[in-house]
């Protein structure tokens, strides 16, 4: 899956030149929905200290450690706040994320199938009218239970909304996350611009650079510390948006492909 995604991104890059488009001409503007057939995502659950569970998304710095007694609270790695985890039954685990003020941001539930080879993951966002995303992941390591690595099945996603890109002036973009009710607006000058929204950690910024008529790069930071470097490429026919996301300090990229709606 990862090789297929990288090959797709590479084929997009070959087709683009070095002239920037502006405003209404921008091929990035539109509403985009995740295409699970072409996206690469791996989730890992592993034992943590003192009976906790460590959750990792790909090779990224999105890591949470939570206990399953519903009491233990661990800081959210991307900002102030905490998560609370609990084991519902022998095959179901749940984690709820909270702001520092105590407001719930969302709940993730993982249910392992009886054969132990798939997980149904449901994410509900409390800040976007409780919209839910459901994914089915298949085991790639481990033998039973929750522990192991899991990858997204090509047909295993149900997502009612995606994200939107709007023009920002005549030389920038506004990226709107419907799921997280968040907005980042930035010019194509590489400067860090603030992101806003109820789930956005303090001092979160986005910087944009357009690198071609169908390509741009984004750097996300918190308190000036680099979190992710993202490359976006629109296919020549404008139907697909490929995103390679590289976490700081990792050589394992996350690969996402989106369909234009």
- Dump the DSSP string for the chain: -HHHHHHHHHHHHHH--S----GGG-TT-EEEEE-TTT-B-EEEEEE-GGG-EEEEETTSS-EEEE-SEEEEEEE-TTSS-EEEEEEEETTEEEEEEE-TTS-EEEEEEEEE-TTSSEEEEEEEETTTTT-EEEEEEEESS-SSSS-EEEEEEEEEEE-S--EEEEE-TTSEEEEEETTTTEEEEEETT---EEEESTTPPTTEEEEEEEEETTEEEEEEEETTEEEEEEEEEE-TTSSEEEEEEEETT-S--EEEEEEE-
Please give the CATH architecture assigned to the domain spanning 42-158.
Beta Barrel (2.40)
Residue-level pLDDT at 261:
87
The whole-number pLDDT of residue 5 equals 39
Query: For the whole prediction, is pTM greater than 0.75?
Result: no
Q: Where in the chain is the domain with CATH 2.40.128?
A: 2-39+161-260, 42-158
pLDDT at 183: 92
**pLDDT per residue as tens, the chain (261 positions):** 334 334 334 333 323 322 333 334 689 999 998 776 666 667 889 888 878 888 877 655 456 777 777 655 555 555 556 778 888 899 999 888 777 777 777 888 999 999 999 999 888 876 555 567 777 889 999 988 999 999 877 554 555 446 899 999 989 999 998 766 789 999 999 999 999 987 777 788 999 999 999 999 999 998 898 988 999 999 888 988 888 888 777 666 677 788 898
Q: How is domain 2-39+161-260 classified at the architecture level of CATH?
A: Beta Barrel (2.40)
pLDDT value for 130:
57
User: What local confidence, expressed as pLDDT, does residue 165 receive?
Assistant: 95
């Amino acid at each position: 899956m990862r090789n297929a995604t990288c090959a797709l991104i590479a084929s997009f890059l070959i087709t683009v030149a070095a002239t920037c488009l502006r405003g209404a001409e921008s091929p990035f503007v539109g509403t985009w929905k995740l295409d699970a057939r072409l996206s690469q995502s791996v989730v890992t659950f592993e034992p943590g200290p003192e009976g906790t569970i460590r959750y990792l998304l790909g090779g990224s710095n999105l890591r949470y450690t939570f206990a399953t007694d519903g009491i233990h609270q661990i800081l959210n790695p991307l900002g102030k706040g905490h998560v609370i985890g609990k084991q519902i039954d022998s095959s179901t685990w749940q984690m709820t994320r909270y702001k520092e003020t105590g407001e719930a941001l969302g709940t993730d539930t993982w249910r392992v199938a009886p054969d132990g080879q798939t997980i149904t993951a449901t994410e509900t966002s409390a800040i976007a009218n409780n919209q839910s995303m459901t994914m089915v992941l298949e085991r790639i390591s481990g033998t039973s239970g929750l522990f192991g690595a899991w990858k997204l099945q090509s047909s295993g996603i149900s997502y009612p909304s995606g994200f939107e890109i709007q023009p920002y002036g005549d030389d920038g973009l506004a990226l709107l996350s419907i799921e997280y009710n968040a907005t980042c607006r930035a010019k194509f000058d590489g400067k860090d611009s603030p992101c806003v929204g109820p789930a956005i950690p303090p001092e979160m910024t986005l910087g944009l650079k357009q690198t071609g008529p169908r390509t741009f790069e984004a750097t996300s930071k918190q308190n000036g510390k680099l979190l992710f470097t993202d490359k976006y490429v629109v296919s020549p026919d404008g139907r697909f948006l490929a995103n390679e996301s590289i976490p700081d300090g990792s050589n394992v990229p996350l690969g996402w492909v989106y369909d234009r709606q």
